[in-house]
Amino acid sequence: MSVIVEKTFIVPGYQLAAKHWQRSGIPTIALHGWLDNAATFDLLAPLLPACDLLSLDLAGHGRSDHKPLGTHYYLVDHVIDVMNVADAMGWQQFTLLGHSMGAAIAGLVAAALPDRVQQLILIDGLGPLSSPPEKAAHLLKESVAQAIAHHTKKMPHYVEISDAVRARAEGLNKLTLAAAEMLCQRGLKSLPEGGYTWSTDPRLRHTSAMRFTEPQVLNLLSEIQCRCLLVQAKDSIFNDFSETGFAERIQQLREVVHHIAPGSHHLHLEAEHVAHVAELINQWI
């Protein structure tokens, strides 16, 4: 039996929010994907009774603060936030559960601090997106242009929550309406003039000024010491990438169990597939 409580953590410069399925079990920090929030684990967390599970709203997402103006959302900065949260929880060693971008961050934490991370549970993600060296100038130009134009952009306005739910379901990574509704419950804010918009910091949509190269990603993955479970979606958005890159990435891990499970990129948030994802995790744990 778990008790669900909301938590906040003060880290340098801002405050992070989290949803804690509090119970006797393995200390586990859960990390959501890009533009999602802690609610992404609302269906999965109750099915993982062995985990004392803290689902974090990463900076700029959900109910966490936006980073101060003039700062950036670099992937590696989330590593420090995760460690600050673990320290605040008093967890010297812990498990990381990550989906998509959250899986990439989890791998970076494990590579940077192998003595702290006991095991990794990765859902449809393994390592950060990479870019070839010859794309460096293009990325920089695009990122700078977006930063300059940022103040001219207006946030979308939705009259009803159902309008936002439909927009989220039809976005970049397709979602069922039920899954989109769960994310929207934590990912919207009311507007003074009425209606709703996203609580997510719009700067998160900016192109990264620089990315790891694939050899750098492989090196980082090779530094992970703990055991890993990778649950890859059969209809993943990464399928094209994984045919050329995931196989080599998996080879860098010292101890890994790899499953390809039915469902799309958010299979852990799909009612028809979440029980299977939970079964794979529970058996592995």
Known catalytic residues are 100
Residue type for 155, please?
A: M
Burial class (CB in 10 A: 0-12, 13-18, 19+), 170: exposed
CB crowding 27-63: b at 16 or more within 10 Å, else e: bbbbbbbbbbbbbbbbbbbebbbebbbbbbbbbbbbb
Tell me how far apart the alpha carbons of residues 73 and 2 are, in angstroms, rounded to a whole number.
33
- Decide the pairing of beta strands 196-198 and 188-190: antiparallel
Burial class (CB in 10 A: 0-12, 13-18, 19+), 125: buried
The structure tokens 């700062």 sit at 71
Segments in the chain forming alpha helices (H)? 77-89, 101-112, 136-149, 161-169, 177-187, 214-222, 239-244, 246-251, 274-284
